[in-house]
Structure 1
């Protein structure tokens, strides 16, 4: 149940460990990354530089899903005409208000998530614009009422580390807390997520210690995330799955908290319009996914059933366009086997 795309990059063991270490903290020093991955600082820096140039990995900064109370999230599921799914997904990903886009299996062809203003006509305007994209046949959407979990360090096991505990999304965000200085820091980080604090301070016109404190506050409150994006298959994870889980209404919160503790659950939210949860699950092997479904999900009190879709290709995550999707599509369309990435040679 892997994504099955011919051009999925497979990194060697050292590269996988380096990327997993970078997932823990995308701004960690090369010495720290080297210690975690069992190599030297120069080697870690050189490998990451090569992987970035290859388009296999990107370190990016993204705002937390609750960092802006002036907007709300809506999930979108699109049915497309024959052979049009990737073209539709690409057009959707171009939009600045789209946080996530992926090709999926099942009833729908494309899944997306949009952040839109809290205005009466905003959702209807979004849907009308999406429906006008050539190749779109139907659009189904729903408001996201609450996000329970967003996780970016899903490859900890490659470093021999225990799974991270659940980190529920903070509900304390207020738009006023993300002020002009915070926005300036964020904008500088979008250019280079690993930029030094001295350069960051120069860019925003403040001293280094103030910028450092500001950044640490944003990260500690999960208003900002420095995330390392990489294909799951490149790190040896076979399955990325979207689950819609039917839950007894009275046990929604209980089930959500239990699922949030599972390391396999990368994203967990409550949508409007169904008695259930939406979860993104990642598994190292198909057997691990089977175990999660049968021994964990099926045994949770309150879970009544579920439907699943495989994620075939992710074009955008956290408002960041993935650097590898165009190469994936090119290889699929050409029917060619991928050239081995330089970093693995």
Structure 2
């Protein structure tokens, strides 16, 4: 069973994933060792984990796309296994709607993403149709979603100190190595990260803090279905008039239930993911959309039936993490910068 204390610890780490245990303990009125013990119990059971996630500045250095696949029913299991084994496919979900699977894809360069889109699907079993849209701007990411378990005063105690981001730089192979280790254990100590990457703890800390402060990457606390307290995941693919797409993207981003709001290039121009308790909530958001941006159209509605992989973590039937395939967010140095880098905005 998930206790109220566990839910509060998870919420605290959603706000500040690598905060010292003593700080979490102070915010929750408990000792640091008690917090650490409870977290390790959750992590050991696969109920909660912390992992690197693309930050608001990621699109100025890397690339991302959403891929929807239809397949032959008899080939579903084989196809899902292949998708989950591929590092570039961060999340793999079985969904309702016109397609069977929803996949998000990450690449460290435009050329790499094009190679995945044009070459990776030929050998996949049972694929009958695919649709690819490229992410061009992020208004909100899943790393910004909060469960809201903590009282506001305690949540404020966990908030990170704001600071201006450092100048842009080209992440290198050491950064990539540290990210891979963080994918395996997002709470690994500086000494453990340094040892695994062949550098001192001080260097590991300096590098990690730099790429987190830069906004290229962030850390994210994810949980199994058991910890999500009955929330259901729904994605909307929208076509919004160009004069309203930014305002609507920001509208959805401001909703507590919003996990993702992203402008995309495809038949639709906005993809929104919501975590709701009742599917009827979606109709209310669609009515608000029609009011705020007349002429908008809902291209598709997808409810997640089951998630097999979430941001590199392989999930069992109950949504527990049972392994990880680190994402290839940073492969080479320097990054290939793409034309929209200068206009990419972070989540509002």
Question: 1:192 — aligned with what?
Answer: 185
Aligned positions of 1:147-186 closer than 5 A: 147-161=138-152, 176-186=169-179
Question: 1:214 — aligned with what?
Answer: 207
Deviation readout 1:1-56 (Å, 9 max, x if unpaired)? xxxxxxxxx62322222212222222122233334445443332222222222222
Question: 1:301 — aligned with what?
Answer: 293
SS in 2 for 1:250: coil
CA distance in 2 between partners of 1:122 and 1:222 (Å): 21
Unaligned runs of 5+ in 1: 1-9, 330-345
Unaligned runs of 5+ in 2: 321-348
Distance 1:123 1:134, change over 3 A: same
Question: 2:45 — aligned with what?
Answer: 54
Q: Please point out which of 286, 296, 317 is paired with 2:278.
A: 286
Q: Please point out which of 120, 126, 130 is paired with 1:129.
A: 120
CA distance in 1 between partners of 2:261 and 2:293 (Å): 17
Pick which of 206-215 and 272-281 moved more. 206-215
Does structure 1 conserve the Cα–Cα contact (< 8 Å) formed by 2:238 and 2:269?
Answer: yes
Q: Please point out which of 67, 71, 79 is paired with 2:70.
A: 79
Displacement of 1:240 after TM fit? 0.9
CA distance in 1 between partners of 2:259 and 2:295 (Å): 19
Does structure 2 conserve the Cα–Cα contact (< 8 Å) formed by 1:85 and 1:103?
Answer: no
Question: 1:238 — aligned with what?
Answer: 231
TM-score normalised by L of structure 2: 0.76
Distance 1:43 1:99, change over 3 A: same
Question: 2:55 — aligned with what?
Answer: 64
Q: Please point out which of 52, 75, 98 is paired with 1:107.
A: 98
SS in 2 for 1:144: strand
Distance 1:303 1:45, change over 3 A: farther
Question: 1:18 — aligned with what?
Answer: 9
Distance 1:260 1:171, change over 3 A: farther
Q: Please point out which of 313, 316, 329 is paired with 1:321.
A: 313
Q: How many residues align?
A: 311
Deviation readout 1:254-293 (Å, 9 max, x if unpaired)? 222222222222112122123530011112x217835752
Deviation readout 1:103-141 (Å, 9 max, x if unpaired)? 11111110112224423x953653443243223222121
Displacement of 1:92 after TM fit? 0.7
Root mean square deviation, CA, Å = 3.4
Does structure 1 conserve the Cα–Cα contact (< 8 Å) formed by 2:235 and 2:301?
Answer: yes
CA distance in 2 between partners of 1:179 and 1:195 (Å): 20
Distance 1:94 1:272, change over 3 A: same
Q: Please point out which of 201, 205, 229 is paired with 2:222.
A: 229
SS in 2 for 1:50: helix
Does structure 1 conserve the Cα–Cα contact (< 8 Å) formed by 2:224 and 2:319?
Answer: no
Displacement of 1:172 after TM fit? 9.9
Q: 1:264 aligned to 2:257?
A: yes
